[in-house]
Structure 1
Amino acid sequence: MGAADAAEPPRPLGLVSSVVNDTLEFYRWTWSIRDKRVDDWPLMQSPFPTLTISTIYLLTVWLGPKWMKTREPFQLRFLLVVYNFGMVLLNFFIFKELFLSSRARGYSYVCQTVDYSDNVYEVRIAAALWWYYVSKGIEYLDTVFFILRKKFNQISFLHVYHHFTMFTLWWIGIKWVAGGQAFFGAQMNAFIHVIMYMYYGLAACGPKVQKYLWWKRYLTILQLVQFHVTIGHTALSIYIDCPFPKWMHWGVIFYAVTFIFLFGNFYYRTYKLPKEPIKNGKIANGAVANGVSKPENNAVVENGKKQKKGKAKGE
């Protein structure tokens, strides 16, 4: 064996070293093409604050129900009204900024490249997208309120997957493509969330308002339409070879497909399957997301049990 052979590192070690070096090189390259306009914006210097918040969220989903198990549920009616209508205002602001700024800039709804300039409208679009990303972090409170109110049946895989991935993945969107094609999906979703949180806010107002909220199922239909439109819009961009990052296009399509399956399953189970009768004080398929479950005979419904007298903790 020669001296050169003896100096060669073992094969597994060389493979690991090569993978690490390639990963670091890829990381440096991706960082070089980031949107430098957002470097100094809150939460954008590094992915770790976003990952930390999302990790705390998952821990809350796991530990929260255990902590509330022996405690009385909070009703939080006033807080829910304030929160939901606050989210209506935030999402309307995002929609308004994206719509007006993209129109002033002459954005195309078919193909729009990212403009990383400091043009006032481009910066407004980037800022609106940043607020959209932040709103997804604020929406983690949806789950916190479910836990405090002991609405554990609402914390489904779809609910957690939706909230966790939207906030976490949109950090990537803001860091690299805070403009261009990204405006369309965020604008459409913000508009739908205006309607959605309006519904939740009205539902939280109590029985006198809830009797008019017959249109909940159409929110799910609207969301499913949104995902199909997203796939069609993105597929068209790929077909015409729109100069927008292809990895983002394919990522959006895959992500939208997962939502179609999950929301479609939710719609089928909630509105198509025969509803089970009331058993042992529990109502099957009967809760209102982030609102207040519709009471019967003026009873307060909490955690599947009716209480005609007294108030829930925190009311």
Structure 2
Amino acid sequence: MMNGLRMLFLMSGWATGYSYKCDIVDYSRTPQALRMAWTCWLYYFSKYIELFDTVFFVLRKKNNQITFLHVYHHSVMLWTWWFGVKFAAGGLGTFHAMLNCIVHVIMYAYYGVSALGPAYQKYLWWKKYMTSVQLVQFIMVVTHIAQFFFMEDCPYQFPVFLYVIWIYSSIFLVLFLNFWYHAYTKGQRLPKPISNGISKGKAH
């Protein structure tokens, strides 16, 4: 699903005309504008599907995986994307969603391999690099949004949405840096043998 959303975001603007600078929301009824709006609704819906992560953790009594980062991720994205899809379904406020889809394709590929069992543990050496990709994602989002604050004239219709994106992406960056420190600097969450088909230390 995430790979399909990634392609839809690209076809709806990010690879077909967006400047990656002051891209405003297109409220017309052109095919491209409607496709972007539909893509944003699908992305918003996908956040509800991701809530099943928490449900499965609870059912399998994996309470150690229900971290503050995990809960913050799910709760914040639902609230902010309700606002985004209702008022600003398009423009530069959707850049982070496109990037997030790309990262989720990589992330779910990792979890797919980890679910195959202990015999595939040797193929999961790139877990540390997956976290690096997530960090790069938030650096790119924070940087992309930050340029709006220095533009002399950008008629983006809902700047409050950009402030919200910048704030929670900055918080995500700090949280992931903290995760990196504890996982790879202090060595508390390095990849371990898989006992139940799912690798420990899941992050978003």
Regarding TM over 0.5, the answer is yes
**SS at structure 2 position matched to 1:254:** helix
How high is the sequence identity, in percent, across the aligned residues? Answer: 45
Q: Tell me the amino acid that sits aligned with residue 143 of structure 2.
A: G
- Give me the whole-angstrom Cα distance separating, in 1, the residues matched to 2:154 and 2:121: 46
Mark the CA change 1:197 to 1:274 in structure 2 (over 3 Å): closer, same or farther: closer
- The match for 2:27 is 116
Q: Is 1:177 the equivalent of 2:85?
A: no
Matches within 5 A, 1:209-224: 209-224=120-135
Q: Is 1:243 the equivalent of 2:155?
A: yes
For residues 114-145 of structure 1, give each alpha carbon's deviation from its aligned partner in whole angstroms, at most 9, with x where no partner exists: 11011101111111111111111100011111
Q: Is 1:193 the equivalent of 2:93?
A: no
Q: Is 1:97 the equivalent of 2:12?
A: no
Normalization by structure 2: what TM-score? 0.89
For residues 159-209 of structure 1, give each alpha carbon's deviation from its aligned partner in whole angstroms, at most 9, with x where no partner exists: 111111111221000001001112311111101101101111111111222
**SS at structure 2 position matched to 1:205:** coil
Q: Is the 8 A contact 1:91 1:190 kept in 2?
A: yes
Q: Is 1:269 the equivalent of 2:182?
A: yes
Relative contact order higher in (CA < 8 Å, ≥ 6 apart): 2
Mark the CA change 1:301 to 1:181 in structure 2 (over 3 Å): closer, same or farther: closer
Return 5+ residue gaps in structure 2 as ranges.
none
Mark the CA change 1:105 to 1:116 in structure 2 (over 3 Å): closer, same or farther: farther
Q: Is the 8 A contact 2:37 2:90 kept in 1?
A: yes
- Give me the whole-angstrom Cα distance separating, in 1, the residues matched to 2:56 and 2:178: 24
1:147 deviation in Å? 1.6
**SS at structure 1 position matched to 2:164:** helix
- Give me the whole-angstrom Cα distance separating, in 2, the residues matched to 1:247 and 1:146: 34
Q: Tell me the amino acid that sits aligned with residue 84 of structure 2.
A: G
Q: Is the 8 A contact 2:138 2:172 kept in 1?
A: yes
| More helix, by proportion | 2
1:216 deviation in Å? 1.1
Q: Select which of 86, 91, 106 maps to 2:17.
A: 106
- The match for 2:194 is 294
Q: Tell me the amino acid that sits aligned with residue 227 of structure 1.
A: F
Normalization by structure 1: what TM-score? 0.59
After the TM superposition, list the runs of 4 or more consecutive aligned residues in structure 1 that deviate by more than 2 angstroms.
285-288
Radius of gyration: which is bigger?
Answer: 1
Q: Figure out how many residues of one structure are paired with residues of the other and give that number.
A: 197
